[in-house]
A and B are shown apart, each in its own frame.
Chain A
Amino acid sequence: KAGVTQTPRYLIKTRGQQVTLSCSPISGHRSVSWYQQTPGQGLQFLFEYFSETQRNKGNFPGRFSGRQFSNSRSEMNVSTLELGDSALYLCASSLGLDSTYEQYFGPGTRLTVT
């Protein structure tokens, strides 16, 4: 079974631009969670989607948004990029039926904002 895939793997953007990252979950998984990883703040939860609905959201500004499609693929968008948005963005998929189900992570998208 194929793992979680994320595209693109690397991205360089300029401050003020917007960016869209994509995540394809493991086949059969309906939950996709997104995390931001930085050296200073560590791993922080952005949001989670299940069956095209956002069920949970972390403490990030409204510039960070996401969506999920009927095939469970998910995208996250960051508008008006800031230098501090430079990070590794990880998505994780899960069966999502309850909190006991483990999450499987993709390789991440490395975003650099200049």
Chain B
Amino acid sequence: AQSVTQLGSHVSVSEGALVLLRCNYSSSVPPYLFWYVQYPNQGLQLLLKYTSAATLVKGINDFEAEFKKSETSFHLTKPSAHMSDAAEYFCAVSDFSVGGTSYGKLTFGQGTILTVHP
């Protein structure tokens, strides 16, 4: 079964600084990976996804993530943090199995709360 580990439950950066949120996955097959953001009292919004087309994935609001198979990582970055980026971020892996398909299940990491201070 797939699993996801997000390193750091809280990350704090200054406005304008680089944002780096870490995600490592465990999977016996090539994974499909996603990053979502959740603002208070809202649902999850998709930032970007990796489905093996390209290892560097660009998403909305200048976020991007790089898939590194050798490190089993899919870290999320943004060159310059804005105050509006303050939220909780979730890395997720799509659940499927070789020889069959397990539909509709995303396995999420525990989330990383990003704080941006002036």
A62 at the interface (CB under 8 A from B): no
Q: Report the minimal beta-carbon distance from B53 to chain A, rounded to whole angstroms.
A: 9
Bin the interface of chain A by size: 20 to 34
**In the complex, what distance in Å separates the CA atom of A58 from the CA atom of B96?**
13
B interface, by DSSP: helix, strand, loop or mixed?
Answer: loop
Query: CB < 8 Å: which of A42, A56, A105, A107 contacts B104?
Result: A56
Q: Report the minimal beta-carbon distance from A89 to chain B, rounded to whole angstroms.
A: 10
B15 at the interface (CB under 8 A from A): no
A48 at the interface (CB under 8 A from B): yes
Cβ–Cβ contact B32 & A100, under 8 A:
yes
Given A99-B32, A99-B96, A100-B94, A105 contacting B45 (CB threshold 8 A) = yes
**In the complex, what distance in Å separates the CA atom of A50 from the CA atom of B101?**
13
A interface, by DSSP: helix, strand, loop or mixed?
Answer: strand
Interface centre among B45, B94, B106 (most CB of A within 10 A): B106
**Within 8 Å CB of B96, what residues of A?**
98-99
A24 at the interface (CB under 8 A from B): no
Cβ–Cβ contact B43 & A48, under 8 A:
no
A55 at the interface (CB under 8 A from B): yes
**In the complex, what distance in Å separates the CA atom of A92 from the CA atom of B44?**
9
**Within 8 Å CB of B34, what residues of A?**
102
Interface centre among A43, A48, A56, A94 (most CB of B within 10 A): A43
Cβ–Cβ contact B43 & A90, under 8 A:
yes
Q: Report the minimal beta-carbon distance from A60 to chain B, rounded to whole angstroms.
A: 12
- B interface with A by C-beta (< 8 Å): 32, 34, 36, 41-46, 49, 51, 90, 92, 94-96, 101-111
Instruction: Name 12 extra pairs, CB < 8 A, besides A32-B104, A43-B106.
Output: A45-B95, A48-B103, A48-B104, A56-B104, A58-B105, A92-B44, A96-B103, A99-B94, A99-B96, A102-B34, A107-B41, A107-B43
